[in-house]
């Protein structure tokens, strides 16, 4: 094996809790129902915090729980300073926050400020006239002379990105549903109002924010038409067919350079509070990696950002994972990246990585191991630690508006949002109600938390062992990363080194056994089962990895020993 480029400075302050942390995403509707109405809630999350502390995560990202008409299940906020009754009360969130902090767990809230609900008081006032105090808080434009929308921009969830409002005789812009009008970040009053929302929750005591669609905050005020998409091969998205939205290159409706100033204002506010952070979601079909780097470059922008490069269908290879990491590090060598294989918007990784329609727990274990080993912050989506596959949702039970728009080509995002299986009872311990908001597949019950805790070789037990081992080896949190050329394209190999310790991380991304050579200087090999890490003397010159297997080689010093 031969060494390649060393990536990543290791001189950043090591007391920033988010740097190299493992953060667990909770979709609150589907985690735990405490009042048996079929919908998960904040008290339910509080009931499960001991499980998360035992799992070994550093923080929790909770998807939106603010007051909302739920057209997009919380991503359409009508009151940024209150909790939707479906999820509980401000007092419930206070108790959750206090209990999490007592367990050493940080809380990140999902703040959606690129748009609001149409029921938000800001929009209710803005839509009435063209000259009221909030008339310019949203993006309004006159029709073309023939009455059609101002330009060709398309909404992600279908149809034009414009809806006509008879009160004003104008169209308003929405990147998603018509019920989600976009705020106008060209207006400084809007920016100030949004910053006040951040301040409210910072004063409340949250540890950070996940910023939904952060590169959508600003549009090109000239409203020029987007050009057609010329190269569909570059689109990093899971859909295998072009929608009208994907038929455009989104040059003018999002990802504008002027938005960096908004990011800097958010960071300046966060810097007034100790130990707070912001992670941005970058939604860009072509340039997600580059934009992620731009939004995190330096000390005056976001602390970190993740993109969808490892959540796309084409990421199922050693080569694609390496390319994604190298692309980010080359675009933003001073930036800090976050990685995820799954979240609430994409098909679950166990299904995306399945072979011939069959999921394999060995693959789920390997993916968790990769997340725990890469340089960056790791995000694990609820159920990923169980190896849950995508749930099939019958058409009559589909809730997701995106799924209704694209059915039967795609069932939407409900398949990754089905309730968490805690045991193998009728409703998997999620609720006592007979009909939870989304169906729980029978195939998820054998993968329940209760069953996996009893199985030493389960994905859950392996995840716990891996996260504990990561915490015991700081080099995996703060070391540089140096990719190594493996014996073939199926082996992902890289070295982490912080000067005090070095670890060679090896992953066999194939269904056949692989013999992987390595250089001199490694004294110890570490392998895993659900009961923990197993250490033995490293074999001479070569290690054999089982299909989807992985192993770590420890150097006797921190100088590395990767050369063949």
Residues identified as active-site: 212, 281
Place of tokens 């800090």: 336
Across the beta sheet with 22-26, the strand order is 304-306, 277-281, 208-211, 106-111, 59-62, 22-26, 377-381, 338-340
Assess contact for 544 and 515: CB atoms under 8 A.
yes
At residue 478's C-alpha, the angle toward residues 268 and 292, to 5°, is 50
In angstroms, the Cα distances linking 457 to 113, 358, 464 are: 43, 19, 11
431-434 own/partner pairs: CB under 8 Å, 24+ apart: 431/33, 431/36, 431/37, 431/38, 431/39, 431/40, 432/33, 432/36, 433/33, 433/36, 433/37, 433/38
Assess contact for 276 and 248: CB atoms under 8 A.
no
Closest listed residue to residue 378, CA positions, set 16, 15, 22: 22
Assess contact for 407 and 401: CB atoms under 8 A.
no
**Residues facing 485 on adjacent strands:** 2
CA distance 463 to 452: 11
Closest listed residue to residue 217, CA positions, set 138, 278, 289, 132: 138
Assess contact for 222 and 252: CB atoms under 8 A.
yes
CA distance 281 to 258: 17
CA distance 292 to 266: 16
């Amino acid at each position: 094996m031969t060494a390649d480029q060393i990536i990543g400075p290791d001189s950043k302050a090591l007391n920033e809790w988010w740097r190299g942390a493992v953060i667990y995403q909770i979709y609150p509707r589907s985690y735990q129902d405490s009042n048996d109405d079929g919908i998960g809630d904040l008290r339910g999350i509080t009931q499960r915090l001991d499980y998360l502390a035992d799992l070994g995560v550093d923080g929790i990202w909770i998807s939106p729980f603010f007051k909302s008409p739920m057209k997009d299940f919380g991503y359409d906020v009508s009151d940024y300073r209150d909790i939707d009754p479906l999820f509980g009360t401000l007092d419930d969130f206070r108790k959750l926050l206090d209990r999490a902090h007592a367990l050493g767990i940080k809380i990140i809230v999902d703040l959606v400020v690129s748009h609001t609900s149409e029921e938000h008081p800001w929009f209710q006032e803005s839509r009435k006239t063209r000259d009221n105090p909030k008339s310019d808080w949203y993006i309004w434009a006159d029709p073309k002379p023939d009455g059609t929308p101002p330009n060709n921009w398309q909404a992600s969830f279908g149809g034009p990105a414009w809806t006509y409002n008879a009160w004003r005789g104008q169209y308003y812009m929405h990147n998603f549903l018509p019920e989600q009008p976009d705020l106008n970040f060209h207006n400084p009053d809007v920016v100030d109002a949004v910053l006040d929302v951040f301040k409210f929750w910072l004063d409340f005591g949250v540890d950070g924010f996940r910023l939904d669609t952060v590169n959508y905050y600003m549009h090109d005020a000239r409203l020029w038409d987007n050009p057609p998409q010329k190269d569909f091969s570059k689109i990093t998205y899971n859909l295998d067919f072009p929608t009208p939205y994907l038929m455009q290159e989104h040059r003018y409706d999002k990802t504008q350079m002027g938005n960096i100033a908004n990011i800097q204002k958010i960071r300046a506010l966060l810097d007034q509070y100790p130990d707070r952070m912001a992670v941005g979601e970058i939604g860009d079909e072509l340039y997600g990696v580059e934009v992620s780097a731009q939004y995190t470059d330096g000390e005056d922008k976001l602390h970190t950002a993740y993109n969808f490069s490892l959540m796309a269908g084409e990421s199922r290879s050693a080569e694609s994972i390496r390319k994604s990491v190298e692309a980010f590090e080359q675009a933003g060598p001073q930036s800090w990246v976050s990685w995820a294989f799954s979240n609430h918007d994409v098909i679950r990784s166990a299904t995306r990585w399945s072979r011939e329609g069959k999921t394999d727990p060995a693959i789920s274990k390997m993916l968790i191991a990769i997340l725990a080993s890469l340089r960056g912050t790791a995000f694990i989506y609820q159920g990923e630690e169980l190896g849950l596959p995508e749930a099939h949702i019958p058409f009559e039970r589909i809730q997701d508006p995106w799924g209704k728009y694209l059915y039967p080509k795609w069932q939407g995002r409900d398949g990754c949002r089905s309730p968490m299986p805690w045991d193998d009872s009728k409703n998997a311990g999620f609720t006592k109600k007979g009909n939870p908001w989304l169906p729980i597949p029978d195939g998820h019950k054998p993968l329940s938390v209760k069953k996996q805790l009893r199985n030493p070789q389960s994905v859950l037990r392996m995840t716990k062992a891996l996260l504990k081992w990561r915490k015991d080896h700081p080099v995996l949190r703060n070391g540089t990363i140096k990719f190594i050329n493996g014996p073939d394209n199926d082996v992902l190999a890289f070295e982490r080194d912080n000067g005090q310790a070095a670890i060679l991380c090896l992953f066999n991304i194939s269904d056949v056994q692989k013999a992987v050579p390595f250089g001199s200087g490694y004294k110890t090999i570490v392998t895993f089962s659900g009961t923990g890490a197993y250490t033995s003397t490293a074999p001479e010159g070569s290690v054999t990895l089982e299909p989807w297997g992985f192993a770590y080689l420890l150097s006797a010093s921190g100088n590395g020993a990767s050369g063949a």
